[in-house]
Structure 1
């Protein structure tokens, strides 16, 4: 639950900063933070990296 709140706060802050400063780069910050979070979680799996990626993409369901 804390991660949902953290990403929500990052999103709100980046949207406010993007609207105030009129810089579209701020709107990419939430996507970058979620991508970085997913990458860290994948790296934390105790399998080799490519095997983990194959496992994730071959899941059926």
Structure 2
């Protein structure tokens, strides 16, 4: 429950600062944070990293 709250706060702050400072690259911060959380969750799986990634992408079909 804590991760969605943190990501929401990061998103709101990112949008506010992007509009206030007129820096559009700050809008990429929430995407980078989300990628970091996803990467951390993948790393926590007790399998080798590459096998985990292959398993995730094999779930499509």
TM-score by length of 1: 0.92
Match of 1:37 in 2: 37
| Ranges of 4+ aligned residues in structure 1 off by more than 2 Å | none
What's the Cα RMSD here? Answer: 1.2
Deviation at 1:44, TM superposition (A): 1.1
Task: Determine if the alignment matches structure 1 residue 10 to structure 2 residue 7.
Answer: no
Matched residue SS, 1:46? coil
Structure 2 gaps, min length 5 = none
Tell me the distance in 1 between the aligned counterparts of 2:11 and 2:5: 10
Deviation at 1:39, TM superposition (A): 0.5
Deviation at 1:60, TM superposition (A): 4.4
Match of 1:59 in 2: 59
TM-score by length of 2: 0.92
Tell me the distance in 2 between the aligned counterparts of 1:48 and 1:7: 27
Tell me the distance in 1 between the aligned counterparts of 2:27 and 2:39: 20
